[in-house]
Structure 1
Amino acid sequence: MNAYLTEDAHLVRSLLPPTAQPPGDDDALFLGYAVLMRAKGLGTTAEDVHDTWAAWVLGRDPHHPAIVPFDDLPADAQAMDLPYVQAIHAAARQRTADRARSR
C-alpha cells in the first residue's frame, strides 16, 4: 500500500513549531493538511487551513463555535492557523526539493 498521504501528513506535523498545539486524535486532520500541501503548496492560505479544520471538526463537534467562515473569526483565532500554513509551506518546499534531487 502506498502511504504517500500519510507520509506527507507526518511531514507537515513534524514541521510545526513546538508552540503549536494540534488537537488530539487528529490523524485525519493532518491528512487534510497533506492534501492542501499537495494541491495548493505555497498557495495554501490560513483560510484553507481553517476550512480543512472546520470540515474535520464537523464530524466531532458540529456545534463548535469556531465553525464559521475564516473572516468571521476573531484575530486571535485566525492567528492559530498560521503555524499550520507555515508547516504546509515548509513541507511543500521540502517535497519540491526532494523531487528535484531524485531526477
Structure 2
Amino acid sequence: MTYLDPLADLIRACLPPDAAPPADAAALFRIYAVLLEAKGEQVTDEDVHNAWSAWMQSVDDSHAALVPFGDLSPETRAFDSPYAEAIREAARQVHRSSANL
C-alpha cells in the first residue's frame, strides 16, 4: 500500500451508487489518484478516458472504446463523467482536510 491507495479509495467512495467500476480495478483507481494529484478539481472527462485507456490497454487492448475521447459517441463519453466528478469531489475533500491542519 502506498500514498496513492487511500486517494484511490476516496475516489471510489465518492462515486455515485449507480456507478459500476470494472472488477479488479485497483490499478485503474491508482491512476485516477495520480489524476487527483496532478489535476485536482481541474480533471476532465477526457483525462479520465485517457487514464482508463492506459489501464484498459493492459486488460483488453482490443476494447472498442480505446480511441481518442473526441471519437467516442456521446453515450460512451458519458461513462467517464461520474469518475471525473468523483475525482473532483475527492480533490475538494483532500483540500478541505489539508486546510484544517
| TM superposition score category, shorter chain reference | over 0.9
Q: Residue type of the partner of 1:87?
A: A
Q: 1:80: Cα distance to partner? A: 0.5
Matched, 1:21 2:20: yes
The Cα offsets for residues 9-32 of structure 1, whole Å up to 9 and x where unpaired, read as: 000000000111110000000000
* Percent identity of paired positions between Structure 1 and Structure 2: 50
In structure 1, what is the equivalent of residue 88 of structure 2? 89
Q: 1:4: Cα distance to partner? A: 1.6
Name the SS of the counterpart of 2:59 in structure 1: coil
TM-score in terms of structure 1 length: 0.96
Matched, 1:43 2:42: yes
TM-score in terms of structure 2 length: 0.97
The 5-angstrom pairing of residues 1-103 of structure 1 reads 3-102=2-101
Tell me the distance in 1 between the aligned counterparts of 2:79 and 2:59. 19
List structure 1 runs of 4+ shifted beyond 6 angstroms. Answer: none
Name the SS of the counterpart of 2:100 in structure 1: helix
The Cα offsets for residues 5-55 of structure 1, whole Å up to 9 and x where unpaired, read as: 000000000000011111000000000000001110011000000000000
Count of residues in Structure 1 that have an aligned counterpart in Structure 2: 101
The Cα offsets for residues 73-96 of structure 1, whole Å up to 9 and x where unpaired, read as: 000110010000110000000000
